[in-house]
Amino acid sequence: MLAAVFYEEIELLPCDTIEEVPEVQCKGYWTSSVYDKEVILDASTLGDVPAVYRVPQPAPHQMPVIGVYIDPRVRTGFRYKIRPMQALDAPPLSVKPRYLFDGKALTLQSIGRGFARRLTFEPIDSTLNENNNYFWSDSRPEGFLFEIEAVSVGDKFTIYDANHEPQGILEVVQQQKNQIEINQLIGADGTIEKKVKINTLCKVEWYENDGATKLVPVTGVALLKKGRGNASVVRVINVAIGIKQLKKGYELKPGVQSSSRRVKVNGADIKDIPCQYSMVGLERYELPVIGTYVDPRIIPGFSYRVRPANSRRHLFEGRSLMLQSVGMGYGKRITFKPDTLNAPENYFWSDSHPEGIGMEPRAVHPDMKFSITGNGGLLGEAIVFRADLPQIEKMTEYVDVPGKRGKAVEKYIQVDVTCHVKLATTGGGSVDSEVHLMKVSGTALVRKDPGQQTAKLIKVFNVGLDSQLNLLFAHSQTELTFHPIP
């Protein structure tokens, strides 16, 4: 049990005995004790009540809060994880106390006044009127340890090189090490800037690798700034990417800047006219068309949605149209199924838009009907209600067909749609009249056989439902498959 005592009763050590912790500005915050692995926290040095506390020495990433002592780096508007501090007399191998708030990093909203200071954090599962995310600084005599979190799992960034050119995007998947605050500046206008060292594991997609993602370690220094509202990451500097940290000197900016996404193509790679192009603004699921270059995955017989790289509006009123042909020459005519045979208008040339075109493959469309099967039995029927989300081509295969010349083309496309689902009655056979609105995700197999003009949707497999029924099917090891109904 720790207790606050008057400052006069404690003999402080000379300044030359202060022990500095690497990468943490602790010299002005606490004083080393004569005892090993202990520090003395003096609230009077912070202009507060002259009370001192002897506590176990915090780690470089930890900031102590106990009684009236609030580490000056603990500021409202920043996110922290909080762990109760261990007592001085705790056994060396004792288990550390668990984090508060289920281990989540929450934004500190306010720090109260007085001897017992209420520290209030943002509500998560509760409402503003019933916020239970708070505690008092003296709730535990041992005190608390705050750990800043500048970058969280799920955060996405755009990667820029030394010339401020976008090179790719990344998403934080895991925290490899604790984040350490290495600097804090307070401006005359009350703004606060912090530098926090981060060490994470991220999914990285380099534009030059045509959308391929890799899981690699990423380190850097996050710059946070707080004005009147909450703090936010301005950018991450001194970024090193990769296992051997060979790629250094990058900078991260929050968010995925799709308008800055750069794709480089070369006609020589597909044995066409050897022209090189650089496109900006394509999404990772869009296939490039620019100048004389047409991505080889763009194949007649399959359906696509078309968008100029510099616009958010799609051509042909945003409809998915079946591609009929890709012409030859420098300006290749790309023709889709016409609305009327007498006045076909659904076409453009590959060099019609100097900034380039993105073509998104589409496998599933609204109003499509499916029968749902599993373990050889009929489980229900589904009608596609909405298909707004992108459909991402995972793979294209060329398959031999016995007895026929040429090869069949099969595309595997990831789809996420919303369906009206009717489930089969108990025992199978008939379909119940009750309709359920469900989100459905899966992999669509689309196949075009030799001699056919149009590809056909064969099935949607690896299906997942945004419903409790998904758990039921998973427990029974039932693999759902959607079969199109003509």
Give, in degrees to the nearest 5, the angle at Cα 322 between 320 and 324: 145
The single-letter code of the amino acid at 180 is: I
Can you tell me the distance from the alpha carbon of 219 to that of 240, in angstroms, rounded to the nearest whole number?
Answer: 5
Provide the token pair at 375: 């373990």
Q: What φ, ψ does residue 125 adopt, rounded to 5°?
A: -90, -10
* Residues in Cβ contact with 348 at an 8 Å cutoff, skipping those fewer than 6 apart: 306, 315, 333, 334, 357
Exposed e or buried b per residue across 109-147, where buried means at least 16 C-beta atoms within 10 angstroms of its C-beta:
beeeeeeebebbbebeeeeeeeeebebebbebebbbbbb
Q: What φ, ψ does residue 443 adopt, rounded to 5°?
A: -110, 120
Can you tell me the distance from the alpha carbon of 85 to that of 363, in angstroms, rounded to the nearest whole number?
Answer: 56
pLDDT digits (tens, 9 = 90+) for 79-134: 999 999 988 877 877 788 899 999 999 999 999 988 889 999 998 765 657 788 99
Give the pLDDT of residue 322. Answer: 96
Weakly modelled stretches of the chain, pLDDT under 70: 1-28, 30, 32-36, 125-128, 209-212, 244-246, 258-260, 425-433, 470-472, 474-477
Give the pLDDT of residue 19. Answer: 39
Give the pLDDT of residue 428. Answer: 52
pLDDT digits (tens, 9 = 90+) for 135-145: 999 999 899 99
Give the pLDDT of residue 211. Answer: 60
Q: Are 423 and 431 a contacting pair, CB within 8 Å?
A: yes
Give the pLDDT of residue 96. Answer: 83
Closest to 279 (Cα-Cα) out of 289, 267, 271, 294: 289
pLDDT digits (tens, 9 = 90+) for 365-398: 999 999 999 888 888 899 999 999 999 999 999 9
Q: Are 144 and 65 a contacting pair, CB within 8 Å?
A: yes
Give the pLDDT of residue 94. Answer: 77
Can you tell me the distance from the alpha carbon of 471 to that of 236, in angstroms, rounded to the nearest whole number?
Answer: 40
Give the pLDDT of residue 384. Answer: 96
Closest to 76 (Cα-Cα) out of 179, 197, 192: 192
Give the pLDDT of residue 7. Answer: 36
